[in-house]
A and B are shown apart, each in its own frame.
Chain A
């Protein structure tokens, strides 16, 4: 399956701590994206990293990509209660530039 698999499935931290979520996949990819979904809400795009990039920053977010290990990580620094949500990685595989395939997500809970 080309689906990304997030790890851990659930993560609970205190406000101010950093949160790290991982995504592993099996195929070659064109790019990898991270999305956030609050309970009962739609998906919101966070960041996109291409297969030729190794690291990308956006505000408190830092994404890394290791194509040799077929894995990516999302780091949220100085977490806030408002960061509580499910986080998904989504793949665009090299073989088809159409389908965005989502993993099952990591449920992050940030405790105040």
Chain B
């Protein structure tokens, strides 16, 4: 199993550009979420999804869109990138069964907006 994968690992954008951060999981987890982590701060929740077709806003949703058309994929879209969105983005899922409630994180995407 690949677990939680994120692409790209690194990205540089210019202000105003749009892009999609990909997140995929092969663990058949219902719950997926996106966080951003900035220097000196903990994780802040952007959006989350409790299952295919269901999404909800987290703490800092402005400037980001998500969709959940399948259980496996949970892409995060930046509509018009701003320097304030320079951050490291983590996708996470919540385990089930023997790993019930354990949260699995992807490797992260480091985004720089110029």
Give bound CA distance, A16 to B67, whole Å.
33
* Contact pattern, A 72-112, Cβ under 8 Å of B = 1, otherwise 0: 00000000001001000000100001111000000000000
Measured as residues with beta carbon below 8 angstroms from the partner, the interface class of chain A is: 20 to 34
B33 touches A38 (CB 8 A): no
Known A-B contacts A31-B59, A98-B41; A44 and B50 likewise in contact (beta carbons under 8 Å):
no
Q: List chain A residues, Cβ under 8 A from B60.
A: 97
Closest B residue to A43 by beta carbon equals B103
A45-B41 contact, Cβ under 8 Å, with A38-B100, A58-B50: no
Contacts A59-B50, A98-B41, A100-B42; A48 near B58 (Cβ below 8 A): yes
**Residue in B closest to A37 when the chains form the complex, CB atoms:** B101
On chain A, the residues within 8 Å of B102 by CB distance are: 38, 41-42, 44
Q: Report Cα–Cα, A55/B101, bound state, in Å.
A: 23
Are A48 and B45 touching (Cβ within 8 A)? yes
Q: Mark A52-81, 1 if CB is under 8 A from B, else 0.
A: 000000110000000000000000000000
Residues of chain A within 8 A of B31, CB atoms compared: 44
Known A-B contacts A44-B94, A45-B33, A98-B41; the reply to A38 vs B59 at CB < 8 A is no
The reply to whether the CB of B57 lies closer than 8 angstroms to some CB of chain A is: yes
How many B residues face the partner with a CB closer than 8 A? 18
Question: In the complex, are the beta carbons of B103 and A92 less than 8 A apart?
Answer: no
> Restricting to B30-84, which residues have a CB under 8 Å from any CB of A?
31, 33, 41-42, 44-45, 48, 50, 56-60
CA distance A42 to B104 in the complex (A): 10
B48 CB contacts on chain A under 8 angstroms: 45, 48
**Interchain Cβ contacts under 8 Å between A and B, 9 examples:** A31-B59, A36-B101, A38-B101, A42-B102, A44-B101, A45-B103, A48-B48, A92-B59, A97-B60
Instruction: Name the 10 nearest CB pairs between A and B, nearest first.
Output: A38-B101, A44-B101, A44-B103, A41-B102, A44-B94, A42-B103, A98-B41, A58-B50, A82-B100, A36-B101
* Interface residue ranges, B against A (CB under 8 Å): 31, 33, 41-42, 44-45, 48, 50, 56-60, 94, 100-103
